[in-house]
Copies of this chain bind each other. A is one copy, B any other.
Amino acid sequence: MIRVNPERFLADLHRLRGFGAAGVGKGVVRPAYSEADIAARDWLAERMREAGLAPHVDPVGNLFGLAEGRSILLGSHSDSQPEGGWLDGALGVIAALEVARASVEVGGPPVSVVSFQDEEGRFGVTTGSAIWSGNLGLDEADRQTDRDGVTFAEARAGMAGRADGFVDPGRFSGFVEMHIEQGPWLYEAGEAVGVVTDIVGIRDMRITLDGEQNHAGTTPMHRRRDAFQGLSRFNALLNDRLRNVVTPQTVWTIGHVRLHPDAHSIVPGQAVFSMQWRDGCADRLRRMEAVIRETAAEVADEAGLSVSFGDMLGLEPMPMDDTLRDALAASAEAVAPGRWRRMQSGALHDATNVARLMPAAMLFVPSIDGISHAFAEDTDEADLATGLEVLAGAVGRP
């Protein structure tokens, strides 16, 4: 049995928060390859070494702490959203570190640790684990750009001095990722732990509507080809039409909008926006894609605009491994009897990619008010400790 130390775990979690601490409350700004992100990875590498693990940075900045021989792999990611909370992926990384450290102390099973790079998608979707798993080619990734036009190749060059080769996945027997739920369900039910049954699939692309840039005073309404009006019409029509396709669990989001030239006195000639949708069923994701493309084309046609679609990034819905899932469930029932549930993950995680390489599973703890990807993200520390013990219990089971 692995005896974890919750105080040591929480102390490290708060120390990691110091890298990129910003905003209000326990907010963190630590996007992939930022100065704060790289400094945090250097600090983590040192903690791994202290825990008896061999730090290893791969060509895209994924940081492993390797146990000797074949081991289980635990972890998540330590990069954050442009405005993120202190837990998100950081929780799973520090929980992994504590379980690995505690396992060494009792001579338990070998445990390796990982912090994947760019899970938050500065350059795509779960970029670091997608590349490691073969889900995304390195050449293709290198051409991706962030919102400021920086390429992935340029960004990862910032860690090139630390990098060695890719780690052989064959040295790991399985992967378990602990994470905050990022939704409201555990918190509202007063439960401490969720054992993930499967992770929803995601599709994400940019859509561009091109109209005609013109003077906002002298261009009569009926002669305008206004790209923002096209976006607004597309959004309204899409909301109507998707109602016939979706389930209550399906979500879709326009989170990024850029108008050109973006001035008060000019009819917008161009609107670029993000379209993202998620569901547990691959077929439904495809049907939604068809509705999105048809609606955009129809709106463009009616409004005298042209439409173009960017590359579509995405990950398929992914069931978790039965054996690891059962081990987590048994541990949850032992640590928090009656205070856990099986549930789907509506958020995307590195585990989706790693599941292509080895058995993978996930464990959730509650998010207060369901808030995440925001400075206000938080979890009761008692729940963090419970999650840690469930994780250790699953790893340490005979």
Asked whether A374 is an interface residue with its Cβ less than 8 Å from the other chain, the reply is: yes
Asked whether A372 is an interface residue with its Cβ less than 8 Å from the other chain, the reply is: yes
Query: Chain B residues near A215 (CB, 8 Å)?
Result: 182-183, 347, 372-373
Q: Determine the distance from Cα of A181 to Cα of B220 in the docked complex, in whole angstroms.
A: 13
Asked whether A121 is an interface residue with its Cβ less than 8 Å from the other chain, the reply is: yes
Q: A218-B347, A370-B223 in contact; A267/B248 too (CB < 8 A)?
A: no
Asked whether A274 is an interface residue with its Cβ less than 8 Å from the other chain, the reply is: yes
Give the contacting residue for A264; candidates B249, B274, B372; CB below 8 A.
B274
Query: Chain B residues near A228 (CB, 8 Å)?
Result: 235, 254-255, 257
Contact between A259 and B251 (Cβ–Cβ < 8 Å)? no
User: In angstroms, how far is the closest chain B Cβ from the Cβ of A30?
Assistant: 14
Contact between B346 and A261 (Cβ–Cβ < 8 Å)? no
| Closest B residue by C-beta to A313 | B264
Q: Determine the distance from Cα of A255 to Cα of B271 in the docked complex, in whole angstroms.
A: 10
Contact between A373 and B265 (Cβ–Cβ < 8 Å)? yes
Contact between A218 and B266 (Cβ–Cβ < 8 Å)? no
Contact between B216 and A255 (Cβ–Cβ < 8 Å)? yes
Q: A262-B257, A267-B255 in contact; A370/B232 too (CB < 8 A)?
A: no
Q: Which of A98-151 contact B (CB under 8 A)?
A: 120-121, 147
Q: Determine the distance from Cα of A212 to Cα of B215 in the docked complex, in whole angstroms.
A: 34
Q: A121-B265, A264-B276 in contact; A253/B216 too (CB < 8 A)?
A: yes
Q: A183-B219, A373-B214 in contact; A255/B265 too (CB < 8 A)?
A: yes
Query: Chain B residues near A229 (CB, 8 Å)?
Result: 235, 239
Q: A228-B255, A259-B255 in contact; A265/B120 too (CB < 8 A)?
A: yes
Query: Chain B residues near A274 (CB, 8 Å)?
Result: 264
What sequence of 0s and 1s flags, for each residue 326-350 of chain A, a beta carbon within 8 Å of any chain B beta carbon? 0000000000000000000111100
Work out how many copies of this chain go into the complex.
2
Q: A256-B264, A257-B257, A263-B81 in contact; A278/B372 too (CB < 8 A)?
A: no
What sequence of 0s and 1s flags, for each residue 155-176 of chain A, a beta carbon within 8 Å of any chain B beta carbon? 0000000000000000000000
Contact between A213 and B265 (Cβ–Cβ < 8 Å)? no
Contact between A83 and B213 (Cβ–Cβ < 8 Å)? yes
Contact between A217 and B257 (Cβ–Cβ < 8 Å)? no
Q: Which of A217-234 contact B (CB under 8 A)?
A: 217-223, 226, 228-229, 231-233
Asked whether A82 is an interface residue with its Cβ less than 8 Å from the other chain, the reply is: yes
User: In angstroms, how far is the closest chain B Cβ from the Cβ of A6?
Assistant: 26
Asked whether A269 is an interface residue with its Cβ less than 8 Å from the other chain, the reply is: yes
Query: Chain B residues near A223 (CB, 8 Å)?
Result: 184, 370
Q: Which of A359-378 contact B (CB under 8 A)?
A: 367, 370-374
User: In angstroms, how far is the closest chain B Cβ from the Cβ of A150?
Assistant: 15
Give the contacting residue for A253; candidates B235, B252, B267; CB below 8 A.
B267
User: In angstroms, how far is the closest chain B Cβ from the Cβ of A259?
Assistant: 5
Q: List 29 A-B contacts (CB under 8 A).
A: A83-B261, A120-B265, A183-B219, A183-B220, A204-B264, A204-B265, A213-B374, A214-B374, A215-B373, A216-B253, A216-B255, A218-B346, A220-B249, A221-B252, A226-B253, A228-B254, A228-B257, A231-B232, A232-B232, A232-B235, A236-B236, A254-B268, A255-B264, A255-B265, A263-B373, A264-B276, A265-B373, A266-B374, A269-B374
